[in-house]
Structure 1
């Protein structure tokens, strides 16, 4: 058989039907090119409750407001690369500090520019939603960032109505170094920050910080909820689609059957959630 027509006489036509999309939450995730932790953390949380489809956007790794702001130029293209032809339920952007610098609403708009009217989240929006969900007002902040990034973090948190009695900083200058911070360093830092802080929760910022596996231990040790960027964003992505994230062993936020506090409407105008009491 040398021609298509000859081959057609040999080929047996078969019939098929279309199956529905897999019944789980579909999350479209834009990560940074420098992130070594988010993907591995979320792999532990997904189970059969969610599916993640991701792409990456270039980042120089320099922890400066200018470098973080430049990430915005690649978000739309990175979002467009995610699972062409497959509908997402929610979009997520995996960088806490860039979301602070670029702005939550702008990040949401860039993520969903060609995604119709679906909700969007990022670790910074998600963390604030998680604090309200837990009824936490006084927040201790563990930050790996330098001062120039910590100042807008502090300002935006206080402007949102939270108190920040204590903020500790590692002052790391490159994103790829954040993922190397040891568990022992984190625990030592929290021992300095928390004993006399009188806070409702601690926020451990950055998707590249390898803290997810230690959240339960930290909560047990200090007796307060621990929210990290990766736990908050997964919880919030699920929440925005009306689902409850269930991930026992990864802290109070991911092991709550219902919110103990008044709930949560997703703002379709800005594609991000605003939690109100």
Structure 2
């Protein structure tokens, strides 16, 4: 389940999917990347997408919107996941919860956050990570308000922005948010540049979905 203007998450998922795992998508309306639109996506458009996906009998469904999950808060996100799972008739993985699990696996205390978002969305995400127990050493957003434009951010631009924003920060893990950032190619570059583990929305989501599958299955 992907925002309608997202063109990156499917590309990343297809590039990582092993033989025998197939990726199908339903779209949830989003034009501008705002907090209000992310919440509308979760409450209005996600249920319809989950219901539609139930007709292909998926093995696992991924709710691909980091910002929506963080904006809902832990209780609201759990309620959404339960509702979507009932509609999709399949286990549901939330990108936000998948990111949290991936970050916890590294057992670190201090993190840095890079997003393509505007300042208000970046602040919400940073506060959500702090509420989960991490010290946020730095959080910087690229200020992009149009979701389609986020997908146009290339590896070089992302790395250069991250280097400038985090030049004076000390942290043990870097989290790069947004499923519309195609981070498959950027991930190893960022890890080499900063010398710390890097968690991205798309990779964390994909790994969480594969963990649900256990073995390659018919549909994700």
Equivalent pair of 2:52/2:88 in contact (CA under 8 Å): no
What does 1:129-144 align with in structure 2 at a 5 Å threshold? 129-144=101-116
Query: 1:142-179: per-residue Cα shift (whole Å, max 9, x none)?
Result: 01111221222111110110111001111111111111
Residues 242-272 of structure 1: CA deviation (Å, up to 9, x unaligned): 469xxxxxxxxxxxxxxxxxxxxxxxxxxxx
**Distance between the aligned counterparts of 2:188 and 2:85, measured in 1?**
33
Displacement after TM superposition at 1:54 (Å): 1.9
> Is 2:198 aligned against 1:198?
no
SS across alignment from 1:114: helix
Secondary structure in structure 1 of the residue aligned to 2:40: helix
Query: How does the TM-score come out when normalised to structure 2?
Result: 0.88
Superposition deviation, residue 31 in structure 1: 1.0
| Alignment CA distance shift 1:83-1:104 (3 Å) | closer
Contact in 2 for aligned 1:140/1:193 (Cα 8 Å): no
* Residue 3 (structure 2) aligned to one of 32, 43, 64: 32
SS at match of 1:140: strand
Deviation at 1:233, TM superposition (A): 0.4
Match runs of 1:73-92 below 5 Å:
73-82=44-53, 84=55, 86=57, 88-92=58-62
Q: Could you tell me which residue of structure 1 aligns to residue 120 of structure 2?
A: 148
* TM-score normalized by the length of structure 1: 0.71
**Alpha-carbon separation, structure 1, partners of 2:56 and 2:32:** 34
Higher helix share: 2
Structure 2 CA distance for aligned equivalents of residues 216 and 207 of structure 1: 17
Of 35, 40, 43, the match for 1:70: 40
Matches of 1:194 and 1:132, distance apart in 2: 21
Shift, 1:52, TM fit: 2.2
In the TM superposition, residue 197 of structure 1 has moved relative to its aligned partner by 2.1
Comparing 99-108 and 200-209, the one that deviates more: 99-108
Kindly indicate whether the alpha-carbon contact (under 8 Å) linking 1:92 and 1:111 is maintained by their aligned counterparts in 2.
Answer: no
Cα RMSD of the aligned pairs, angstroms, is 2.0
Higher relative contact order (CA 8 A, sep 6+): 2
Does the 8 Å CA contact 1:93/1:107 hold for their aligned counterparts?
Answer: no
Structure number with bigger Rg: 1
Do 2:53 and 2:88's aligned partners in 1 also have CA atoms closer than 8 Å? no
Give the Cα–Cα distance (whole angstroms) in 2 for the partners of residues 201 and 98 of structure 1: 22
Partner Cα distance (1:50, 1:169) in 2: 34
Greater percentage in strand: 1
Measure the CA separation in 2 of the matches of 1:221 and 1:156: 26
Contact 1:112 1:120 in 2 (8 A): yes
Q: Does 1:224 align with 2:196?
A: yes
Partner residue, 1:113: 86
Is contact 2:54-2:87 (8 Å) kept? no
The number of residues matched between the two structures is 212
